[in-house]
Protein backbone atom coordinates (compact mmCIF):
# COMPACT_ATOMS: atom_id res chain seq x y z
CA UNK A 1 0.00 0.00 0.00
CA UNK A 2 3.01 2.28 -0.44
CA UNK A 3 1.30 3.99 -3.40
CA UNK A 4 -1.65 4.93 -1.20
CA UNK A 5 0.63 6.22 1.56
CA UNK A 6 2.45 8.36 -0.99
CA UNK A 7 -0.84 9.82 -2.29
CA UNK A 8 -2.06 10.63 1.22
CA UNK A 9 1.26 12.25 2.15
CA UNK A 10 1.15 14.33 -1.02
CA UNK A 11 -2.55 15.24 -1.27
CA UNK A 12 -4.09 15.17 2.21
CA UNK A 13 -1.42 14.94 4.94
CA UNK A 14 -3.47 17.00 7.40
CA UNK A 15 -6.76 15.13 7.01
CA UNK A 16 -9.80 15.30 4.75
CA UNK A 17 -13.18 16.96 4.75
CA UNK A 18 -16.28 14.98 5.69
CA UNK A 19 -19.51 15.34 3.68
CA UNK A 20 -23.08 14.11 3.98
CA UNK A 21 -24.17 11.26 1.72
CA UNK A 22 -27.04 13.35 0.32
CA UNK A 23 -24.50 15.82 -1.05
CA UNK A 24 -23.13 13.09 -3.30
CA UNK A 25 -26.10 10.74 -3.90
CA UNK A 26 -29.53 11.13 -5.49
CA UNK A 27 -32.23 8.53 -5.05
CA UNK A 28 -35.06 7.18 -7.16
CA UNK A 29 -38.21 5.45 -5.95
CA UNK A 30 -38.52 1.91 -7.37
CA UNK A 31 -42.23 2.03 -8.26
CA UNK A 32 -41.91 1.55 -12.02
CA UNK A 33 -39.40 -1.29 -11.59
CA UNK A 34 -41.47 -3.50 -9.26
CA UNK A 35 -42.16 -6.98 -10.63
CA UNK A 36 -45.81 -7.77 -11.33
CA UNK A 37 -45.65 -11.56 -11.07
CA UNK A 38 -43.65 -13.65 -8.60
CA UNK A 39 -43.78 -16.76 -10.81
CA UNK A 40 -40.00 -16.88 -11.05
CA UNK A 41 -38.07 -19.33 -13.20
CA UNK A 42 -34.31 -19.79 -13.47
CA UNK A 43 -34.64 -20.00 -17.26
CA UNK A 44 -35.74 -16.34 -17.38
CA UNK A 45 -33.14 -13.61 -17.81
CA UNK A 46 -34.03 -10.64 -15.60
CA UNK A 47 -33.16 -10.96 -11.89
CA UNK A 48 -35.62 -9.73 -9.27
CA UNK A 49 -33.71 -8.17 -6.41
CA UNK A 50 -34.14 -7.36 -2.75
CA UNK A 51 -31.69 -5.25 -0.77
CA UNK A 52 -31.71 -7.84 2.03
CA UNK A 53 -29.60 -10.96 2.47
CA UNK A 54 -31.57 -12.97 -0.12
CA UNK A 55 -30.50 -10.49 -2.83
CA UNK A 56 -31.69 -12.36 -5.98
CA UNK A 57 -35.19 -13.66 -5.28
CA UNK A 58 -35.60 -15.25 -8.69
CA UNK A 59 -35.79 -14.45 -12.40
CA UNK A 60 -38.66 -12.96 -14.39
CA UNK A 61 -39.59 -12.84 -18.07
CA UNK A 62 -41.21 -9.40 -17.74
CA UNK A 63 -39.66 -7.22 -20.43
CA UNK A 64 -40.99 -3.88 -19.16
CA UNK A 65 -40.03 -1.71 -16.20
CA UNK A 66 -36.42 -2.89 -16.14
CA UNK A 67 -33.72 -0.73 -14.57
CA UNK A 68 -30.81 -0.68 -17.00
CA UNK A 69 -27.77 -0.61 -14.72
CA UNK A 70 -24.34 -1.32 -16.23
CA UNK A 71 -20.71 -1.33 -15.12
CA UNK A 72 -20.49 2.22 -16.51
CA UNK A 73 -23.77 3.24 -14.87
CA UNK A 74 -24.04 1.30 -11.58
CA UNK A 75 -26.46 1.91 -8.72
CA UNK A 76 -26.85 0.92 -5.10
CA UNK A 77 -30.16 -0.63 -4.03
CA UNK A 78 -30.94 0.35 -0.45
CA UNK A 79 -33.54 -1.17 1.89
CA UNK A 80 -35.27 1.88 3.36
CA UNK A 81 -36.22 0.01 6.55
CA UNK A 82 -33.23 -2.20 7.39
CA UNK A 83 -30.52 -0.04 5.65
CA UNK A 84 -28.93 -3.11 4.03
CA UNK A 85 -27.70 -2.44 0.49
CA UNK A 86 -26.02 -3.94 -2.60
CA UNK A 87 -23.86 -2.71 -5.47
CA UNK A 88 -25.59 -3.39 -8.81
CA UNK A 89 -24.05 -3.16 -12.29
CA UNK A 90 -26.57 -5.21 -14.29
CA UNK A 91 -30.20 -4.81 -15.39
CA UNK A 92 -32.84 -5.77 -12.83
CA UNK A 93 -36.33 -5.46 -11.39
CA UNK A 94 -37.22 -5.24 -7.70
CA UNK A 95 -39.71 -6.95 -5.44
CA UNK A 96 -40.63 -4.18 -3.03
CA UNK A 97 -41.37 -0.47 -2.81
CA UNK A 98 -39.22 -0.40 0.34
CA UNK A 99 -36.12 -0.10 -1.85
CA UNK A 100 -34.48 3.15 -2.86
CA UNK A 101 -32.23 3.20 -5.90
CA UNK A 102 -29.17 5.31 -5.12
CA UNK A 103 -27.25 7.06 -7.90
CA UNK A 104 -24.21 9.28 -7.92
CA UNK A 105 -24.80 12.97 -8.47
CA UNK A 106 -23.00 14.62 -11.36
CA UNK A 107 -19.79 15.34 -9.51
CA UNK A 108 -16.18 15.38 -10.61
CA UNK A 109 -14.52 14.71 -7.27
CA UNK A 110 -16.29 11.56 -6.08
CA UNK A 111 -15.78 7.90 -6.98
CA UNK A 112 -19.17 6.15 -6.57
CA UNK A 113 -17.58 2.86 -5.51
CA UNK A 114 -15.70 4.77 -2.81
CA UNK A 115 -19.06 5.96 -1.46
CA UNK A 116 -20.30 2.35 -1.45
CA UNK A 117 -17.30 1.13 0.55
CA UNK A 118 -17.62 4.08 2.93
CA UNK A 119 -21.28 3.21 3.54
CA UNK A 120 -20.11 -0.25 4.60
CA UNK A 121 -18.25 1.48 7.42
CA UNK A 122 -21.32 3.25 8.80
CA UNK A 123 -22.15 1.54 12.07
CA UNK A 124 -25.90 2.07 12.33
CA UNK A 125 -28.76 -0.32 13.13
CA UNK A 126 -32.35 1.01 12.96
CA UNK A 127 -34.29 0.66 16.20
CA UNK A 128 -37.77 1.13 14.79
CA UNK A 129 -39.68 0.19 11.63
CA UNK A 130 -39.45 3.50 9.79
CA UNK A 131 -38.04 4.70 6.50
CA UNK A 132 -34.41 5.60 7.01
CA UNK A 133 -32.84 7.21 3.94
CA UNK A 134 -34.21 10.76 3.83
CA UNK A 135 -34.36 11.68 7.50
CA UNK A 136 -31.49 9.67 8.90
CA UNK A 137 -29.12 7.69 6.72
CA UNK A 138 -28.48 10.23 3.97
CA UNK A 139 -27.32 12.71 6.62
CA UNK A 140 -24.44 10.53 7.77
CA UNK A 141 -21.04 11.95 6.88
CA UNK A 142 -18.21 10.04 5.24
CA UNK A 143 -14.59 11.10 4.58
CA UNK A 144 -13.88 12.56 1.15
CA UNK A 145 -10.17 12.44 0.31
CA UNK A 146 -8.92 13.68 -3.06
CA UNK A 147 -10.08 11.61 -6.05
CA UNK A 148 -6.70 9.84 -6.65
CA UNK A 149 -6.79 8.62 -3.04
CA UNK A 150 -10.38 7.40 -3.43
CA UNK A 151 -9.48 5.51 -6.60
CA UNK A 152 -6.49 3.78 -5.01
CA UNK A 153 -8.58 2.70 -2.01
CA UNK A 154 -11.26 1.34 -4.36
CA UNK A 155 -8.60 -0.57 -6.32
CA UNK A 156 -7.28 -2.22 -3.16
CA UNK A 157 -10.73 -3.13 -1.81
CA UNK A 158 -11.90 -4.38 -5.21
CA UNK A 159 -8.98 -6.82 -5.21
CA UNK A 160 -10.07 -8.18 -1.83
CA UNK A 161 -13.66 -8.44 -3.03
CA UNK A 162 -12.68 -10.19 -6.27
CA UNK A 163 -10.70 -12.83 -4.40
CA UNK A 164 -13.61 -13.50 -2.03
CA UNK A 165 -16.01 -13.75 -4.98
CA UNK A 166 -13.76 -16.32 -6.68
CA UNK A 167 -13.65 -18.42 -3.53
CA UNK A 168 -17.42 -18.11 -3.14
CA UNK A 169 -17.95 -19.24 -6.76
CA UNK A 170 -15.70 -22.25 -6.12
CA UNK A 171 -17.68 -23.06 -2.97
CA UNK A 172 -20.94 -22.85 -4.93
CA UNK A 173 -19.56 -25.34 -7.46
CA UNK A 174 -18.47 -27.65 -4.62
CA UNK A 175 -21.95 -27.50 -3.10
CA UNK A 176 -23.54 -28.49 -6.40
CA UNK A 177 -21.10 -31.38 -6.65
CA UNK A 178 -21.92 -32.40 -3.09
CA UNK A 179 -25.67 -32.31 -3.76
CA UNK A 180 -25.18 -34.39 -6.92
CA UNK A 181 -23.27 -37.11 -5.06
CA UNK A 182 -25.67 -36.98 -2.11
CA UNK A 183 -28.64 -37.58 -4.37
CA UNK A 184 -26.77 -40.31 -6.26
CA UNK A 185 -25.70 -42.12 -3.09
CA UNK A 186 -29.24 -41.99 -1.74
CA UNK A 187 -30.91 -43.30 -4.88
CA UNK A 188 -31.47 -47.05 -4.62
CA UNK A 189 -33.10 -49.69 -6.75
CA UNK A 190 -35.93 -52.01 -5.80
CA UNK A 191 -33.58 -54.11 -3.65
CA UNK A 192 -33.65 -51.44 -0.92
CA UNK A 193 -37.04 -51.02 0.77
CA UNK A 194 -38.69 -47.64 1.36
CA UNK A 195 -40.35 -46.97 4.67
CA UNK A 196 -42.55 -44.27 6.13
CA UNK A 197 -40.76 -42.20 8.74
CA UNK A 198 -43.40 -42.88 11.36
CA UNK A 199 -42.50 -46.59 11.23
CA UNK A 200 -38.79 -46.06 11.98
CA UNK A 201 -38.78 -42.90 14.07
CA UNK A 202 -40.82 -41.03 16.64
CA UNK A 203 -41.82 -37.44 15.89
CA UNK A 204 -42.09 -35.13 18.91
CA UNK A 205 -43.04 -31.49 18.94
CA UNK A 206 -40.85 -29.16 20.99
CA UNK A 207 -41.94 -27.23 24.06
CA UNK A 208 -42.59 -23.50 24.08
CA UNK A 209 -40.22 -21.07 25.78
CA UNK A 210 -40.45 -17.28 25.96
CA UNK A 211 -37.63 -14.88 25.17
CA UNK A 212 -37.42 -13.67 28.76
CA UNK A 213 -36.25 -17.17 29.72
CA UNK A 214 -33.34 -17.09 27.27
CA UNK A 215 -29.82 -15.72 27.36
CA UNK A 216 -27.50 -14.57 24.57
CA UNK A 217 -24.96 -17.29 25.29
CA UNK A 218 -24.90 -20.60 27.10
CA UNK A 219 -24.71 -24.36 26.74
CA UNK A 220 -28.03 -25.25 25.13
CA UNK A 221 -29.16 -23.47 21.93
CA UNK A 222 -32.89 -23.00 21.42
CA UNK A 223 -34.36 -23.66 17.97
CA UNK A 224 -37.76 -22.19 17.26
CA UNK A 225 -38.78 -21.01 13.78
CA UNK A 226 -35.43 -20.85 11.95
CA UNK A 227 -32.02 -22.52 11.72
CA UNK A 228 -30.52 -19.67 13.76
CA UNK A 229 -30.78 -20.25 17.51
CA UNK A 230 -33.35 -18.01 19.18
CA UNK A 231 -31.07 -17.85 22.22
CA UNK A 232 -29.77 -20.20 24.91
CA UNK A 233 -31.62 -22.01 27.70
CA UNK A 234 -30.50 -23.48 31.01
CA UNK A 235 -31.52 -27.01 30.02
CA UNK A 236 -32.09 -29.22 26.98
CA UNK A 237 -34.99 -31.40 25.91
CA UNK A 238 -33.30 -33.29 23.04
CA UNK A 239 -29.87 -34.92 22.82
CA UNK A 240 -27.15 -34.23 20.29
CA UNK A 241 -27.35 -36.01 16.91
CA UNK A 242 -31.07 -35.29 16.60
CA UNK A 243 -32.75 -34.34 13.33
CA UNK A 244 -35.33 -31.57 13.57
CA UNK A 245 -37.66 -29.83 11.13
CA UNK A 246 -38.99 -26.27 11.44
CA UNK A 247 -42.79 -26.32 11.36
CA UNK A 248 -43.60 -22.57 11.26
CA UNK A 249 -41.85 -19.50 9.94
CA UNK A 250 -38.98 -21.04 7.97
CA UNK A 251 -41.20 -24.10 7.65
CA UNK A 252 -39.58 -27.09 5.92
CA UNK A 253 -36.01 -26.25 6.91
CA UNK A 254 -34.16 -29.35 8.11
CA UNK A 255 -31.57 -29.24 10.89
CA UNK A 256 -29.20 -31.57 12.69
CA UNK A 257 -27.80 -30.62 16.08
CA UNK A 258 -24.36 -31.86 17.08
CA UNK A 259 -24.98 -30.69 20.67
CA UNK A 260 -27.79 -31.16 23.18
CA UNK A 261 -30.43 -28.47 22.56
CA UNK A 262 -33.87 -27.17 23.41
CA UNK A 263 -36.53 -27.56 20.72
CA UNK A 264 -39.33 -25.01 21.03
CA UNK A 265 -42.89 -25.55 19.86
CA UNK A 266 -42.23 -24.76 16.19
CA UNK A 267 -39.81 -27.68 15.89
CA UNK A 268 -40.54 -31.31 15.09
CA UNK A 269 -37.80 -33.61 16.40
CA UNK A 270 -37.18 -37.15 15.19
CA UNK A 271 -35.96 -39.93 17.46
CA UNK A 272 -34.65 -42.79 15.34
CA UNK A 273 -35.23 -46.49 15.99
CA UNK A 274 -32.28 -48.90 16.12
CA UNK A 275 -32.46 -49.59 12.38
CA UNK A 276 -31.95 -45.96 11.36
CA UNK A 277 -28.81 -43.83 11.63
CA UNK A 278 -29.85 -40.26 12.53
CA UNK A 279 -27.21 -38.70 10.26
CA UNK A 280 -28.39 -40.89 7.37
CA UNK A 281 -31.93 -39.70 8.06
CA UNK A 282 -30.75 -36.08 7.89
CA UNK A 283 -29.19 -36.58 4.45
CA UNK A 284 -32.18 -38.58 3.20
CA UNK A 285 -34.51 -35.76 4.24
CA UNK A 286 -32.31 -33.13 2.59
CA UNK A 287 -32.81 -35.02 -0.67
CA UNK A 288 -36.55 -34.49 -0.27
CA UNK A 289 -36.43 -30.91 0.97
CA UNK A 290 -38.01 -29.57 -2.23
CA UNK A 291 -40.97 -31.90 -1.75
CA UNK A 292 -41.26 -31.04 1.96
CA UNK A 293 -41.24 -27.30 1.22
CA UNK A 294 -43.91 -27.80 -1.47
CA UNK A 295 -46.22 -29.12 1.26
CA UNK A 296 -45.85 -26.03 3.45
CA UNK A 297 -49.18 -24.26 3.89
CA UNK A 298 -48.80 -20.70 2.66
CA UNK A 299 -50.20 -18.13 5.05
CA UNK A 300 -49.11 -15.06 7.00
CA UNK A 301 -47.04 -17.57 8.97
CA UNK A 302 -46.11 -20.56 6.75
CA UNK A 303 -46.78 -23.90 8.48
CA UNK A 304 -45.92 -27.55 7.92
CA UNK A 305 -48.22 -30.33 9.14
CA UNK A 306 -46.60 -33.15 11.12
CA UNK A 307 -48.28 -35.68 8.83
CA UNK A 308 -46.05 -34.51 5.94
CA UNK A 309 -43.00 -35.66 7.91
CA UNK A 310 -44.55 -38.78 9.39
CA UNK A 311 -45.72 -40.02 5.98
CA UNK A 312 -42.45 -39.18 4.22
CA UNK A 313 -40.86 -42.22 2.61
CA UNK A 314 -37.11 -42.79 2.79
CA UNK A 315 -34.87 -45.66 1.63
CA UNK A 316 -33.68 -48.01 4.39
CA UNK A 317 -30.49 -49.89 3.48
CA UNK A 318 -28.56 -51.86 6.10
CA UNK A 319 -27.00 -49.95 8.99
CA UNK A 320 -23.51 -50.67 7.66
CA UNK A 321 -24.49 -49.16 4.29
CA UNK A 322 -26.05 -46.17 6.01
CA UNK A 323 -22.81 -45.60 7.93
CA UNK A 324 -20.71 -45.90 4.76
CA UNK A 325 -22.84 -43.28 2.99
CA UNK A 326 -22.73 -40.98 6.01
CA UNK A 327 -18.93 -41.11 6.16
CA UNK A 328 -18.71 -40.02 2.50
CA UNK A 329 -21.29 -37.25 2.78
CA UNK A 330 -19.84 -35.94 6.04
CA UNK A 331 -16.55 -35.28 4.25
CA UNK A 332 -18.36 -33.38 1.49
CA UNK A 333 -20.40 -31.50 4.08
CA UNK A 334 -17.27 -30.39 5.95
CA UNK A 335 -15.69 -29.11 2.73
CA UNK A 336 -18.80 -27.07 1.90
CA UNK A 337 -20.17 -25.96 5.25
CA UNK A 338 -17.65 -26.30 8.08
CA UNK A 339 -16.55 -22.79 9.13
CA UNK A 340 -13.46 -24.23 10.82
CA UNK A 341 -11.98 -25.88 7.72
CA UNK A 342 -11.90 -25.88 3.93
CA UNK A 343 -13.31 -23.15 1.69
CA UNK A 344 -15.81 -21.75 4.22
CA UNK A 345 -12.96 -21.11 6.65
CA UNK A 346 -10.87 -19.45 3.94
CA UNK A 347 -13.77 -17.27 2.84
CA UNK A 348 -14.41 -16.28 6.46
CA UNK A 349 -10.74 -15.36 6.91
CA UNK A 350 -10.68 -13.34 3.68
CA UNK A 351 -13.88 -11.52 4.68
CA UNK A 352 -12.36 -10.54 8.04
CA UNK A 353 -9.18 -9.43 6.30
CA UNK A 354 -11.23 -7.32 3.87
CA UNK A 355 -13.21 -5.71 6.70
CA UNK A 356 -10.01 -4.98 8.64
CA UNK A 357 -8.39 -3.21 5.69
CA UNK A 358 -11.61 -1.42 4.75
CA UNK A 359 -11.84 0.02 8.25
CA UNK A 360 -8.17 0.94 8.19
CA UNK A 361 -8.21 2.46 4.71
CA UNK A 362 -11.31 4.55 5.36
CA UNK A 363 -10.15 6.01 8.67
CA UNK A 364 -9.11 9.61 8.05
CA UNK A 365 -8.66 12.52 10.43
CA UNK A 366 -11.07 15.37 9.71
CA UNK A 367 -9.63 18.65 8.52
CA UNK A 368 -9.81 21.21 11.29
CA UNK A 369 -10.39 23.96 8.78
CA UNK A 370 -13.15 22.77 6.46
CA UNK A 371 -12.80 24.97 3.42
CA UNK A 372 -15.92 25.39 1.31
CA UNK A 373 -15.63 23.29 -1.83
CA UNK A 374 -18.29 22.62 -4.44
CA UNK A 375 -19.10 19.01 -5.24
CA UNK A 376 -20.11 19.92 -8.81
Reported as a single tens digit per residue, the pLDDT across 267-317 is 999 999 999 999 999 999 999 999 999 999 988 889 999 999 999 999 999
Q: How do 85-88 and 56-60 pair as beta strands?
A: unpaired
Q: What is the mean pLDDT of residues 14-30?
A: 95
Judged by DSSP in three states, 146 sits in coil
Please check whether residue 185 lies inside any domain of the structure. yes
Whether residue 165 contacts residue 343, with contact meaning beta carbons closer than 8 Å, is answered with: no
Please check whether residue 40 lies inside any domain of the structure. yes
N- to C-terminal Cα separation, the chain: 30
- Residue 252, domain CATH: 3.90.220.20
Check whether residue 250 and residue 230 sit in a common domain. Answer: yes
Confidence band, pLDDT 50/70/90 cuts, at residue 374: very low
Other Cβ atoms closer than 10 A to 139: 12
On the question of pLDDT at 10 being above 80, the answer is yes
Q: Of 316, 331, 348, which closes a domain?
A: 316
Question: How many Å apart are CA 147 and CA 108, to the nearest integer?
Answer: 9
Q: What is the mean pLDDT of residues 248-260?
A: 95
Q: What is the mean pLDDT of residues 72-86?
A: 95
Pick the more confident residue, 318 or 359: 318
What does the pLDDT look like over 204-235, one tens digit per residue? Answer: 999 999 888 999 888 899 999 989 899 999 99
Check whether residue 165 and residue 132 sit in a common domain. Answer: no
What does the pLDDT look like over 112-150, one tens digit per residue? Answer: 999 999 999 999 989 888 999 999 999 999 999 999 999
Average pLDDT, the chain: 91
What does the pLDDT look like over 241-250, one tens digit per residue? Answer: 999 999 999 9
pLDDT, position 36 = 94
Domain of 40 in residue numbering reads as 18-143
pTM exceeding the 0.85 threshold for the entire prediction: no
pLDDT, position 349 = 85
What does the pLDDT look like over 328-355, one tens digit per residue? Answer: 999 888 877 775 667 778 888 888 888 8
Report how many domains make up the chain.
3
Question: How many Å apart are CA 288 and CA 101, to the nearest integer?
Answer: 38
Amino acid sequence: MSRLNELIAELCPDGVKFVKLNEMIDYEQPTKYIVKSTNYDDSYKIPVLTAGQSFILGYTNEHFGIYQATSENPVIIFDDFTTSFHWIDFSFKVKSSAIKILKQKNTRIVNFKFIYYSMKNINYIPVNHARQWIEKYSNFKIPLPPLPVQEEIVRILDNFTELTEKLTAELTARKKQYEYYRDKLLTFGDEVPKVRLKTVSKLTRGVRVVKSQLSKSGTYPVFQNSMTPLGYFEKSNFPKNTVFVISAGAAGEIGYSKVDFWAADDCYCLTCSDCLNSRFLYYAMLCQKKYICSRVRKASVPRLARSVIEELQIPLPSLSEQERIVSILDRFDALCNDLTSGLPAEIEARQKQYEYYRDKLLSFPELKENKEESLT
